[in-house]
């Protein structure tokens, strides 16, 4: 054991003694490679589209919300497990906005968000502090704002960034913190 440590120490000292701190002459530059096609790194994205499904009222874990969904055949079990998924919405020329989106609309604070599921994206709207689906005043909901709808005219667009090989020592951007425009520019997605 002591012999191995002694050999290792001699090798390290020899390597350090033989190294030169001066930089050598740079070699000749190589030939540039062919220009590749512009790509989007296997990113999957949709066109802007409305939900063809009727908005429905539901309660999940005591939270009242209005829900629509989008059919997304690309959302496989593997994609759900290994990808970054982003959803945006716009109303006519207003937007796009990234989900989750929180605003003060109507008479209360609202959130529009999404839940990703096998082959579907569920988009929901929740009015904080309210479970009042209609304008009729029910005693247990007195004083609560009426929950806002998810209009048929809202357009949605999703971007799926598949996971691939784990990057070594390279920090990946936090796509959910990027604006819609930054994501489109980063992946060369036509707006």
Domain that holds residue 61: 44-134+147-165+174-187
- Whether residue 36 lies inside any domain: the answer is no
- Whether residue 84 lies inside any domain: the answer is yes
| Ranges 29-38, 127-136, 156-165, 178-187, most confident | 178-187
- Whether residue 32 lies inside any domain: the answer is no
* Number of structural domains found in the chain: 1
Give the Cα separation of 48 and 191 in Å (integer).
Answer: 9
- Whether residue 55 lies inside any domain: the answer is yes
List, for residues 84-99, the tens digit of each pLDDT value.
999 999 998 899 999 9
pLDDT surpassing 90 at residue 45: yes
- Whether residue 95 lies inside any domain: the answer is yes
- Whether residue 111 lies inside any domain: the answer is yes
Mean model confidence pLDDT for the chain: 80
**Number of neighbours of residue 116 by Cβ within 10 angstroms:** 16
3-state secondary structure of 133: coil
The DSSP 8-state label assigned to residue 169 in this structure reads S
User: Quick one: average pLDDT of 114-122?
Assistant: 96
Give the Cα separation of 136 and 144 in Å (integer).
Answer: 11
- Whether residue 128 lies inside any domain: the answer is yes
- Whether residue 34 lies inside any domain: the answer is no
């Amino acid at each position: 054991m002591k012999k191995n440590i002694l050999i290792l120490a001699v090798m390290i000292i020899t390597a350090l003694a033989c190294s030169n701190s001066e930089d050598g002459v740079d070699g000749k530059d190589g030939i540039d490679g062919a220009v590749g096609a512009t790509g989007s790194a296997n990113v999957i994205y949709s066109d802007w589209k409305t939900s063809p499904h009727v908005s429905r009222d539901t309660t999940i874990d005591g939270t009242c919300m209005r829900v629509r969904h989008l059919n997304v055949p690309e959302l496989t079990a593997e994609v759900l497990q290994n990808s970054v998924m982003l959803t945006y919405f716009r109303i006519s020329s207003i937007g796009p906005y990234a989900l989750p989106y929180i605003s003060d609309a109507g008479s209360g604070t609202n959130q529009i968000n999404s839940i990703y599921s096998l082959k579907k994206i569920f988009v929901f709207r929740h009015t904080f502090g309210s479970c009042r689906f209609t304008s009729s005043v029910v005693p247990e909901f007195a004083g609560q704002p009426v929950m806002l709808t998810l209009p048929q005219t809202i357009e949605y667009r999703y971007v799926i960034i598949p996971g691939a090989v784990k990057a070594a020592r390279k920090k990946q951007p936090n796509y959910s913190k990027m604006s819609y425009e930054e994501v489109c520019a980063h992946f060369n997605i036509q707006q």
